[in-house]
Structure 1
Amino acid sequence: MSTPLKASISVPRSKDLEVNGVKYNRSSSRRNNFEMFAWLFMRLSGVILVVLIFVHLWVNLVGPEGGVNAVDFAFVAGKWASPFWQVFDMLLLWLAMLHGTNGLRVIIDDYAERDRTRFWLKVFLFTTSAFVVLLGTLVIFTFEPCPAGADPALLAGFCTAG
């Protein structure tokens, strides 16, 4: 009679956990509240993003100004002439990028098996996310639909030649 194979399963809260050949370091020196704050941020930013996205969709696609057919260069220029809409769009951009970046960070942690791969994927993720946030913020706050000294043939129809 053969003895049944005994599977060895590590205690989930042990310091060194190994699952399918992948070792996870859960030493107390690495314990901090970052993951709890990241989890909380995902929930709060998700709720705020839902509100911001529906307002964004209503104003840009459904609103009384003519809906989706009215969205053009002049619509965006008029909208970004108001500091309220600049801050609104910046908040939407930042929250969406940070929310998405945090979600991808978790996916990288879950699926990248080697430390070196995980490190470089996160470097690429954080670099591109920072670039998009910086570039988007600059576009929102430095947008000038009628720059002084520009060729009048290249300006939008609502700009006055001056």
Structure 2
Amino acid sequence: MSATEIKSPRSAVAKVGSNRIAPQYRRNGSSKGNFEMLAWLFMRLSGVVLVVLIFGHLFVNLLVGDGIHAIDFGFVAGKWADPFWQIWDLAMLWLAMLHGTNGVRTIINDYAEKDATRLWLKIVLYAATTVIIILGTLVIFTFDPCPVVNGVQLPGGFCPVP
């Protein structure tokens, strides 16, 4: 290979013919369908939606009211008392996790050379993603700022006194 020649990447697509301008390619094995195209499209769309969600989140938390000095347990409790903010934060959690998981999946596919290594890395990735999405969703929807334990309300300066 000469100094100006670029080595072909690993691919399931083999070049047919010697047309340098527009080479033709032939697939070896079965096609994966449209999954990779849909994953690529998801990354673009979710990225745009995430930009809106994240900047909205930052604006409300850092610029409205007292800014960063107002963020405490009571601020989050008041925010999550409104279903709008629960859905907003849930969408941000789900999209961020799925967007990141898809990106890491692509990196694993690009750099893990052995099939077994690729398989186990993806299993760990998908398991971690599932656990974080489930736990995050449970926290958002089961959050109780004024819990009662054994008939006694736990102390908090923002909870009404019975």
TM class, shorter-length: 0.7 to 0.9
Match for 1:50: what amino acid? Answer: V
Computed over aligned residues only, the root mean square deviation of the Cα atoms, in angstroms, reads 2.2
Q: Distance in 1 between matches of 2:142 and 2:135?
A: 10
Q: Distance in 2 between matches of 1:158 and 1:53?
A: 27
Q: How does 1:23-38 map to 2 (within 5 A)?
A: 26-38=27-39
Structure 2 unmatched ranges of 5 or more: 16-26
After superposing on structure 2, the runs of 4+ consecutive aligned residues of structure 1 that deviate more than 2 Å are: 7-10, 148-152
Q: How does 1:56-71 map to 2 (within 5 A)?
A: 56-63=57-64, 65-71=65-71
The Cα shift of 1:156 comes to 1.5
Q: How does 1:86-97 map to 2 (within 5 A)?
A: 86-97=86-97
Q: Distance in 1 between matches of 2:136 and 2:32?
A: 34
The Cα shift of 1:151 comes to 4.0
Alignment: residue pair count: 144
Partner residue of 1:39?
40
Distance 1:9 1:125, change over 3 A: closer
What secondary structure, in the 3-state scheme, does the structure 2 residue paired with 1:14 have?
strand
Q: How does 1:1-162 map to 2 (within 5 A)?
A: 13-14=13-14, 26-63=27-64, 65-149=65-149, 151-152=152-153, 154-162=154-162
Match for 1:92: what amino acid? Answer: M
Q: Which moves more between the two structures, 27-36 or 52-61?
A: 27-36
Distance 1:161 1:30, change over 3 A: same
TM-score with structure 2 setting the length? 0.81
TM-score with structure 1 setting the length? 0.81
Structure 1 unmatched ranges of 5 or more: 16-25
Q: Distance in 2 between matches of 1:144 and 1:9?
A: 56
Distance 1:91 1:9, change over 3 A: closer
What secondary structure, in the 3-state scheme, does the structure 1 residue paired with 2:133 have?
helix
Q: Distance in 2 between matches of 1:14 and 1:87?
A: 46
Identity value in percent:
59
